[in-house]
Chain A
């Protein structure tokens, strides 16, 4: 047959190697143009993000009046304060517990949302993402009202079952619970959306093959879903860890760090000490304690993002 083309093996060859350049003398121009286009970005980040970050380190080494250099004096002071250690403990408990629950709830809800027909998914997705859309300051106010010592709507409902009023924000244990609850309420939808998008990309055929091989629903999740979603789970978790660890809005509005400084996070305590207490260096030293955790998490995120980039 004359028309049968003689197809040869297509090899991704030299053609695309070496990048795409327009012309010899335009190369100069392109680099300058590109640089100019990224200049505002570079300036913004250098001046308002990177420089302040280092400046914070410098500030942490000054005394309260910022007149002389006291080295690690602020840190030594902090280590002796019991409040400091409480803040460390609370920050870790808060961040880890909240992230675990957010990821768990997000994963479970994503699964259910994935099960229902796609057309209806949009409506449900819309409803379930609302907590994330409302500015956290506003929604935290709503929660404060829901958990109010005198007028709590929850207490009212519990009262009808005969369960005594709970001091949601007044008692340390419950206060800690409340801030975690609000954070989970706020953050779980984000996880849900991410996981839902990721679930959609798992090929249906894998599940069918697993079902034929005799896997029940739990085994399907463990052996098919988790491995395929491993990357996105890791990245969202790490990301959320950073953001939750550095949380300010919720605790500030709900409890102002109380009762008795039991719910303070690094951010809120730094604010109290630095702005309200006008001791900027001490505040800076407090907030710097977030840095190691952020660095570790950032390292793992980078590694995962690059790994995925190479896989793709």
Chain B
């Protein structure tokens, strides 16, 4: 066998037609091209919201180029942010979202721990059942729930219709199943030897959950929290059904019903309201994007 001499300073191989690297370069260019196209498609509405929000009513009705702001103004923002009504919507949404997140976590985390770790009779069925109930949509349940709550109000006198706090009971039905599912996935991925080490160290089930599992599965917890918050914030159907008076409304419903006075749409304000309403999820997303995505994919890839 002749000895091989590797000449590192030798001439580079010329890129030939049809070689891998040439194909790769073209694939990259096409990829960026299409990605840009889709990005434009994706970002068009929010950007348009921004543009419109900076226009005065006069400019809007003047029907000049909708894609450009000639006389940018912050009057829409100023009006909304000083409007008690709008702030009320924001406040309601915020309170509900935060409380629902807490409720969801308090229900999901122990349940997920029990289902993932403590094999008890029926745990597999329950886990599947949880997943299945997530498939029952709110558009099926809103009518019977409405009737149920109306009946309950009549019998007990506790007002449940047209009250924002009713949503605190209902939203968890949307958030808990999926959050439990996420947490089961994360908890299941913790090696069992860690449990045993904790048992030998003398931890009770509760201590194992709080001092070992929750810290180790923290990314999952954050993802679940973000999911619960976003879902609560974005709810439209349930609040539409259960709240009608202006002071009880949450943001999505409030913007639509009250910024439309009669037949006149004040689009500048509507867009501003919508943009501000979309801000919290967007901000969370901007800072915690990785957790956000992890929460989504955890549901699928972890089965």
Residues of A within 8 A of B (CB): 19-20, 22, 30-31, 33-35, 37-38, 40-42, 44-45, 48-53, 55-56, 59, 66, 105, 108-109, 112-113, 115-116, 122, 124-131, 133-139, 141-143, 145-146, 148, 150-151, 153, 156-157, 185, 189-190, 193-194, 197-198, 201, 211, 217, 232, 235-236, 239, 242-243, 245-249, 252-253, 266-267, 270-271, 274-275, 280, 283-284, 287-288, 290-291, 294, 297-298, 301-302, 305, 308-309, 312
Contact = CB atoms under 8 A, between A and B. Distances in A.
B288 to A, nearest CB: 11
A284 B143 contact: yes
A37 B183 CA distance: 14
Contacts of B111: 37-38, 40-41
B135 A44 contact: no
B177 interface: yes
B218 interface: no
Nearest to A250: B236
Interface in B255-303: 255-256, 267, 270-271, 274-275, 277-278, 281-282, 285-286, 289, 292-293, 296-297, 300-301, 303
Contacts of A127: 39, 42-43
A189 to B, nearest CB: 7
A153 B48 contact: yes
5 contacts: A34-B123, A37-B114, A66-B147, A125-B293, A294-B136
Contacts of B147: 55, 59, 66, 280
A192 B30 CA distance: 18
Contact of B146 (A131, A245, A275): A275
B246 to A, nearest CB: 17
Contact of A115 (B31, B144, B237, B271): B31
Nearest to A243: B137
A253 B260 CA distance: 12
Nearest to A58: B144
Counting from the closest, the 3 A-B pairs by CB-CB distance are: A267-B139, A246-B137, A135-B234
B141 A53 contact: yes
B162 to A, nearest CB: 12
B243 interface: no
A134 to B, nearest CB: 4
B296 A134 contact: no
Contacts of B176: 41, 44-45
Interface string B53-68: 0000000100101110
Interface of B: 20, 27-28, 30-32, 34-35, 38-39, 41-46, 48-49, 52, 60, 63, 65-67, 106-108, 110-111, 113-115, 118-121, 123, 126, 128-133, 135-148, 169-170, 172-173, 176-177, 180, 192, 195-196, 199, 205, 230, 233-234, 236-237, 240-241, 251-253, 255-256, 267, 270-271, 274-275, 277-278, 281-282, 285-286, 289, 292-293, 296-297, 300-301, 303
Contacts of A128: 35, 38-39, 42
A169 B37 CA distance: 25
Given A44-B176, A53-B141, A53-B144, A112 B49 contact: no
A286 B131 CA distance: 25
Contact of B42 (A113, A130, A211, A253): A130
Nearest to A275: B241
A205 B153 CA distance: 63
A249 B237 contact: yes
A109 B35 contact: yes
Contacts of B30: 112
Nearest to A128: B42
A193 B297 CA distance: 8
A34 B297 CA distance: 27
B48 to A, nearest CB: 6
B26 to A, nearest CB: 11
Contact of B173 (A45, A124, A143): A45
A52 B256 contact: no
B115 A38 contact: yes
A194 B286 CA distance: 19
A112 B118 contact: no
A274 B118 CA distance: 44
Contacts of B278: 133-135, 138-139
B45 A287 contact: no
A22 B60 CA distance: 71
Given A41-B107, A56-B143, A194-B300, A133 B39 contact: no
Contacts of B35: 109, 112-113, 116, 124, 128
A20 B197 CA distance: 13
A49 B39 contact: no
Given A128-B42, A135-B233, A298-B132, A142 B169 contact: no
B143 A270 contact: yes
A141 B135 contact: no
Contact of A145 (B39, B237, B270): B270
Given A34-B114, A145-B52, A253-B256, A133 B140 contact: no
B19 to A, nearest CB: 12
Given A45-B173, A137-B236, A138-B252, A189 B192 contact: no
